[in-house]
């Protein structure tokens, strides 16, 4: 048996007219908007 904890974070800073977003796209990003996110989890195998 084993348990793994994990955490992830990201940030994307767009310039004035850029609309880059994460993949797969969850929604539209306004031009110039910056996106940030984080997540955490537990993987337990036996």
How many angstroms separate the CA atoms of 22 and 36, rounded? 10
Q: What is the pTM of this model?
A: 0.53
What is the model's pLDDT at position 2? 95
pLDDT at position 21 is 80
**pLDDT at res. 9:** 93
pLDDT along the chain (46 residues), means of 10: 94 87 78 90 94
Q: For the chain, give every domain's residue range.
A: 2-45
Strand partners, 38: 9
The distance of Cα 10 from the centroid of its chain, to the nearest Å, equals: 5
pLDDT of residue 29: 82
CA-to-CA separations, 16 to 1, 32, 43, 44, in angstroms, rounded: 50, 4, 39, 43
Which residues 6+ apart lie within 8 Å of 23 measured at CB?
A: none
State both tokens at 12: 């994307």
> What pLDDT, on a 0 to 100 scale, did the predictor assign at position 37?
87
For position 42, what pLDDT does the model report?
96
| Token output for 30 | 């306004």
């Amino acid at each position: 048996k084993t348990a793994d904890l994990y955490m992830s974070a990201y940030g994307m800073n767009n310039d004035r007219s850029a609309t880059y977003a994460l993949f797969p796209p969850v929604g539209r990003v306004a031009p110039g908007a910056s996106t940030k996110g984080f997540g955490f989890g537990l993987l337990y195998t036996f």
